[in-house]
Every structure is written in C-alpha cells, then in structure tokens.
Amino acid sequence: AQSVTQLDSQVPVFEEAPVELRCNYSSSVSVYLFWYVQYPNQGLQLLLKYLSGSTLVKGINGFEAEFNKSQTSFHLRKPSVHISDTAEYFCAVRLDSNYQLIWGAGTKLIIKP
Amino acid sequence: GAVVSQHPSWVICKSGTSVKIECRSLDFQATTMFWYRQFPKQSLMLMATSNEGSKATYEQGVEKDKFLINHASLTLSTLTVTSAHPEDSSFYICSARGKAGEDDTGELFFGEGSRLTVL
C-alpha cells in the first residue's frame, strides 16, 4: 500500500535560517508528488509539484524540493525563512492511475524571531 | 491558479440541526470534487469523492446518510451534515479537479475550508 511519511511533526527554526522539511513515500508504481501549505484556519495552497523531468522543482515563496527516486524522498527546502512562512506543510502523493492524493501527517514550521 | 470558494467559512449550529457547506469552482469546471475532514493538528482525511452528475463515492467509515454530498453541476458541490452532533465539529475542506487546458496535471485546487462547531 502507498503511504507518505513526514518525519517531523514540528520544525522550529530561526528567522532567515535555512530549513528542510522531510517527506518520504512508499509506492510500487509511478507517482506524482506535491507539497501544500496551510496557513492557520485556511485551506491548502499548492507550493510545488513534481510530475516528471528535472528532479529539482522550484515553487512559490522561494521553496524548492528535490525528488530522489532511489531514496523515495521529496524533501522541501528554503534557504532563508521568513516569519510569514509559519504554517503547516503537507506532502502528498498522487498515484499515476488516479487523482486521489495520499497525504502525510503534516509538519508545522515554527519560525523563531 | 484556479479558484475554489467554500461557504460558509465558519458555522455554529445546535445539536440535531443540519448544516450545508458549499464548494464552488469559480473559473473552471470541476469534473471531480473531493471532501476532506481535518481534525486539530492532524492531516486531511478524505471523506468522499464526487463526480458531477453521479453519486459520491464514500471512504470506508464515512456515513453516507450523515454526510450528504451533491454535485449537481460542474461548478458546485455541497456537503450537508445531517443531524449534527458535537463530534461532527471539525474543519471541512473541499478540493476540485478540472482540466487545465490540454495539460491535465490533475492538480487539485482547495477551498478555504469551513469550520463547523456543533453545540
């Protein structure tokens, strides 16, 4: 069965420091990978996605992620975080065969001033 | 990107009453809509998938008679929580999928969410 694991439930980091949010998945078939951000009391907004091609994907707000097929990972990174990046980040996997998403449990990014 | 709007964003109701939440795709036709429930500090739990003009497909453990889903048009899906009880209090989020031109990446567009509090 397919699954998505976000290894950290919370990641505290100082403002302007770099951050990496980890995501691993398990699947025996081709997948598409997504990162979504959820600000407090709001819906989800797509940060970036990997469908095919270059394994380094750039998204909005300065975030990027790298697809590593051998390690089945899709870690999210940002070189310098801002207080406005405080939010919950969800990694999701979509199987090639359908449009349902399998979600990770989420990682809360806490920016310390 | 495409816009999905949910209404209401907040709703408080008495136990035993029914509440309807609307999900609209504003600038595209949503062939498929998904309804999620999110408990505090948890991820999204898929409740059901609805395709326009057909009955919704519910996930295991979700009561179809309690959570009525209607997808009567390509731009509107509704979730009705019938005879709501305090344990139904949650954050409900819809998402929609539609063709994005010729390149259908299947990207989902999310509504802002609706917070239901049942007293």
Q: Tell me what the mean pLDDT of segment B93-109 comes to.
A: 69
pLDDT-above-90 percentage for chain A: 65
| Contact criterion met (CB < 8 Å) for B113 and A42 | yes
Q: Which of B96, B108, B82 is nearest to B23 (CA)?
A: B96
| Contact criterion met (CB < 8 Å) for B34 and A51 | no
Report chain B's terminal Cα–Cα distance, integer Å: 37
Q: What is the tens place of the pLDDT at every residue in B69-86? A: 998 888 999 999 999 999
Which of B6, B106, B115 is the closest to A99 by Cβ?
A: B106
State yes or no: pLDDT of B102 exceeds 60: no
Does any CB of chain B come closer than 8 Å to the CB of residue A7? no
User: Residue A98: what pLDDT?
Assistant: 63
Collapsing DSSP to helix, strand or coil, A18 comes out as coil
Contact B110, B30 (CB under 8 A): no
Residues of A in contact with B56 (CB under 8 A): none
| Contact criterion met (CB < 8 Å) for A36 and B111 | no
Does any CB of chain B come closer than 8 Å to the CB of residue A45? yes
Tell me what the pLDDT averaged over chain A comes to.
90
Q: What is the tens place of the pLDDT at every residue in B58-71? A: 999 999 999 999 98
β-pairing, B76-81 with A44-50?
A: unpaired
State yes or no: pLDDT of B57 exceeds 50: yes
Q: What is the tens place of the pLDDT at every residue in A10-55? A: 999 999 999 999 999 998 777 889 999 998 877 888 899 998 889 9
Helix, strand, coil shares, percent, chain B, to 5: 5, 50, 45
User: Residue B74: what pLDDT?
Assistant: 87
Which of A46, A90, A101 is the closest to B1 by Cβ?
A: A46
| Contact criterion met (CB < 8 Å) for A94 and B6 | no
Which of A93-97, B35-39, B98-102 comes out lowest in average pLDDT? Answer: B98-102
Does any CB of chain B come closer than 8 Å to the CB of residue A100? yes
| Contact criterion met (CB < 8 Å) for B113 and A43 | yes
CB atoms within 10 A of CB B81: 23
Q: What is the tens place of the pLDDT at every residue in B5-24? A: 999 999 999 999 999 999 99
Buried b / exposed e across B35-54, counting CB within 10 Å, b at 16+? bbbbeeeebbbbbbbbebee
Beta bridge pairs of residue B91: B38, B115
CB atoms within 10 A of CB A57: 21
Collapsing DSSP to helix, strand or coil, B87 comes out as helix
Does any CB of chain B come closer than 8 Å to the CB of residue A106? yes
Which residue does chain B place closest to A94, by CA atoms? Answer: B106
